[in-house]
Amino acid sequence: MNANDEAGKRILCHCLASVSMANGDLDAREIATMLATVEQVTGCQVSADEMVLAASTVTEEPAEFQANLTATVPDMEDAFKLMILKTCIMIGRADTFMIDTEKDHIYALGHTLGYNAEQINEQFEIIT
């Protein structure tokens, strides 16, 4: 699984939405930032509707999202897992101020993807 297949694109959108919605809201600016970031990082375009659907799935069914992510990690290419982690950090930093809840989401996603705290910290240092 990678960013070029539908399942990978869907997982990436869900992960980004979970970080963006850490404060409980998802506004138009955040959607636009996620869409631009997905296109920049993957070369794939995602519609605003797809992003809103991903966000609603994350908020309405968080346990299902987590279970799905955990189940799909073994099928993910290593480069795709790293892309998800880096892109989530980029989204968290998009406001220039990252709240603790966003960091918590990123660390939880990173651990699910198979990274330890040191490896996640390393990515935070790279992406400033």
Tell me which amino acid residue 69 is. Answer: L
| 14, part of any domain | yes
Residue 91 lies in a domain: yes
pTM higher than 0.85: yes
The arithmetic mean of pLDDT across residues 80-99, rounded, is 88
Chain centre distance of CA 28: 17
* Residue 102 near residue 92, CB atoms below 8 Å: yes
Q: Give how many domains the chain has, as a whole number.
A: 1
CATH of the domain at 85: 1.10.3680.10
Residue 83, in any domain of the structure: yes
What contacts 18, CB < 8 A, 6 or more positions away?
Answer: 58, 62, 65, 105, 109
Share of the chain above pLDDT 90, in %: 40
Per-residue pLDDT tens over the stretch 21-62? 887 777 788 888 899 988 988 888 889 898 888 888 887 777
Q: Please check whether residue 103 lies inside any domain of the structure.
A: yes
Task: Let me know if residue 1 belongs to a domain.
Answer: no
Report yes or no on 52 lying in a domain: yes
Q: How confident is the model at residue 114 (pLDDT cuts 50, 70, 90)?
A: very high
Q: Which domain holds residue 66?
A: 6-126
41 found inside a domain: yes
Q: Tokens representing 51?
A: 């992003």
Q: What is the distance between the alpha carbons of residues 32 and 82, in angstroms, rounded to a whole number?
A: 22
CA nearest neighbour of 81 among 113, 121, 125: 113
